[in-house]
Structure 1
Amino acid sequence: MKIAFRVSLYFIVLTLFWACKNDPEPRKYPQKSQKTKAKDTIPEVIIPAGGENDVDVSHIKTLTQETLEDYLEKYEIQNPESLVKVKTRFGDFKIQLFAAEKLHRVNFIRLTKLGYYDDTFFHRVDSGFVVQGGNSDKPSTQKLRSKIGDYLIPNEYNPLHKNNYGFVGMAKPPSQKVSNASSAFEFYIVVKKDGAHHLDKEFTVFGRVIEGMEVVEKISQVETDASEWPLSNIQMDIDVLR
């Protein structure tokens, strides 16, 4: 059943391209005989629920598209942080979030403080392009998403912040074909040495790795299945530093 889900997931990513995962032991998936890559696109990945984890969401305020910007504007007053540490089994790295892309930065800080990312994986790896995180196949992740809210973040493209090596941007839902609004949850880190500038303007870059890029490089070299999901899950844990 899980293989069928993964095949369906890969089909979604491939279709989008042509139109323009705190486990103490990482879960293993059977290796495919040949890896097929979905090239040069950053869709938000739709993952059916699986696994056994659950989470309490009673403390979370649900946002809507209509309440999003006003809420984040007020949230920023008491939550102005812009530096986070991402911890993985490969080591840690730090991301500096940019001030200019305010909605993206504040949303990322809020989700980090809610513990959302601690329930997710680096679930997509393309060694010559990006590593993508912020989702998982655990029902707890989908429960968190539902409670946090079904909204998109307006595009905040800044010509000073492009898809250079080590820079961090937000993915887009596969269904998002009208505007360049971002996913509220999934982010990517560019590992292509000369950048991924075909993504400029369409995707909002809102930070960059300032320490530990070698850890990101290690993540980018793991083995994956045909849908670019690592064969051994890469759990993350993110802390707000300042």
Structure 2
Amino acid sequence: MRYSLFALLLTILSCSPDDGTHAVIQTNRGDIEVLLYPETERHSENFIKLAEEGFYNGTLFHRVIPGFMVQAGDPESRGAGPDQPLGRGGPGYEIDPEIGAPHLYGALAAARTPNPEKRSSGSQFYIVTGELQTDNTLDNIERIKGIQYNEAQREAYKTVGGRPDLDQEYTVFGEVISGMDVVEGIAEAERGAYDRPREDVVIENIIIK
């Protein structure tokens, strides 16, 4: 089952649910609970700060692609018109990268512009849905990127899926621990221009636990 992601990731990271802060992303499609990694301190603390300030309230999941990810966190999406291009807004700063964890199914990661330092957007994030991977694909990723997956990571990519092509390019700073059915529903929403859902998917609030 793909929903065994959480147990697999805890094995990979040698951590427990008490090792990080939990956040509940409340949307008009349902709730998504995430665990924020303490290892990615800059990203996790920034997400907590923005959530507690209400920065995300009323913003949209503005870009969704089945078999890939759902993206949110652009303040310009709040009240945006139906054909308005989105994805360039933020709080006015970027975050230095904390790249390490893989892009497994359910990974919470920071979006970014194409910049050589791989600095993250100050607010935009995405949740990976992805696809099941094969040993051949993982071998090719390792060769191209010069990385080495351990046995647990390879097993997770083959049994729960993800997007290994994004590894070493973006910072993963958490993971979904409940509500992947909500994420999948958002990913499968009917899309219009710029991969935006035709019916707005709104973040109503984010509660830090």
Aligned pair in 2 of structure 1 residues 240, 87: CA closer, same or farther (>3 Å)? Answer: closer
Contact 1:81 1:109 in 2 (8 A): no
Q: How does 1:86-97 map to 2 (within 5 A)?
A: 86-97=25-36
State the identity as a percent.
34
TM norm structure 2: 0.68
Q: Distance in 1 between matches of 2:112 and 2:71?
A: 12
Q: Does 1:155 align with 2:122?
A: no
Q: What are the superposed Cα offsets for residues 17-63 of structure 1, whole Å, 9 maximum, x if unpaired?
A: xxxxxxxxxxxxxxxxxxxxxxxxxxxxxxxxxxxxxxxxxxxxxxx
Greater helix proportion: 2
- Residue-pair matches, total: 154
Distance 2:93 2:117 in 1: 13
Contact 2:105/2:129 (8 A) holds in 1: yes
Give 2:121's aligned residue: 183
Which residue of the partner structure matches residue 6 of structure 2? none
Q: What SS does structure 2 have at the residue aligned with 1:103?
A: helix
- The answer (yes or no) to whether the contact 2:52–2:208 under 8 Å persists in 1 is no
Determine if contact 2:56/2:206 at 8 Å carries over to the other structure.
no
Residues 139 and 219 of structure 1: CA distance in aligned 2, closer, same or farther (over 3 Å): closer
1:170 aligns with 2:110: yes
Partner AA of 1:166 in structure 2: G
Q: Secondary structure at the match of 1:201?
A: coil
Task: Flag structure 2 segments of 5+ consecutive residues without an equivalent.
Answer: 1-18, 81-85, 132-160
User: Superposition RMSD on alpha carbons, in Å?
Assistant: 2.2
Instruction: Give TM-score scaled by structure 1 length.
Output: 0.59
* Structure 1, unpaired ranges of 5+: 1-79
**Equivalent residue runs for 1:1-242 within 5 Å:** 82-135=21-74, 136-138=76-78, 148=91, 150-158=92-100, 161-173=101-113, 176-193=114-131, 194-242=161-209
Cα drift, residue 235 of structure 1: 0.6
